[in-house]
Amino acid sequence: MPDTLAALILGILEGLTEFIPVSSTGHLLLLGHFIGFQSAGRAFEVVIQLGAVLAVLSVYAAKLLAVVRAAPHDPDARRFLLSVLLAFLPAVFIGVAAHDFIKTVLFETPKLIAIMLIVGGVILLFVDRLAVNPKYEDAMRLPLPVAIKIGFIQCLAMIPGTSRSGATIVGALAMGVSKRAAAEFSFFLSMPTMFGAFAYDLYKNRDVIDADAAGIIAIGFVAAFISAVFVVRWLLGYVSNHGYSLFGWWRIVVGAVALTLLSLGF
């Protein structure tokens, strides 16, 4: 398959899966493995995620701008910004420390990715069915200790197949955050997290990304942005009414299919 077509398909897949708890990186790495796509320094799989994050920014731009403007005189706005910052910090320290191991070992182990998809799917189904009365209904008013815990839980997603959104959503649900607020806080947290991952990975791979690689990344980036806009607009309404069981089953099916294909030598 030509790299340009592979980049387009993978970009669409990234946008469709970044904000649902199924592991966009796991999907990209597995599909890339099966179609024979290998990016320079594995930068493609990380950098195009910024396209999906910009989709969230475009949807929430007015709301975020209002919060930033209110921050100097509104303690609730300042607390919200602080909650996102504190939740983001664990990923900074752990991500930088483990970057090389993640990219050279974990990203190159498709069987581990498939297993994590299945394990995460089972956990998501279990947590989604818990009869918990939500204590927190507003993603912008989470207590700081809850936000920090969600930030540490997010770091589990450095194992591909775990899912950044899945880890944050499951962690939030387990701490009494409503399904809608859990997804929304995951959106907000994705912005600094993925901007940071984008910048650091681009810096680490600055010597291996040539004009051709940059062109491939650009195709995936734009495709991820466009497809993610539709997912972000749809997801909050869906999970409010239906929960997350669909995504748990999806993870299990994809992981099982991938393990089967890997066992057959693909």
- The domain segmentation of the chain, as residue ranges, is 3-263
Residue with tokens 């320094």: 41
Q: What is the pLDDT of residue 147?
A: 94
**pLDDT at residue 184 is higher than 80:** yes
Question: What's the mean pLDDT when you consider all of the chain?
Answer: 87
The alpha carbons of the chain give a radius of gyration, in whole angstroms, of 18
Measured distance CA(139)–CA(64) in Å, rounded: 13
pLDDT in tens, 201-255: 878 777 777 788 888 889 998 999 999 888 887 887 887 788 888 999 999 999 9
| 56 touches 28 (CB < 8 A) | no
pLDDT of residue 257: 96
Q: Where are the alpha helices (DSSP H) in the chain?
A: 3-17, 24-35, 43-47, 49-70, 75-104, 110-128, 144-154, 164-174, 179-204, 211-242, 245-263
Whole-number Å distance between alpha carbons of 223 and 11: 5
The pLDDT score that the predictor gives to residue 248 is: 92
What integer is the mean pLDDT of 130-138?
82
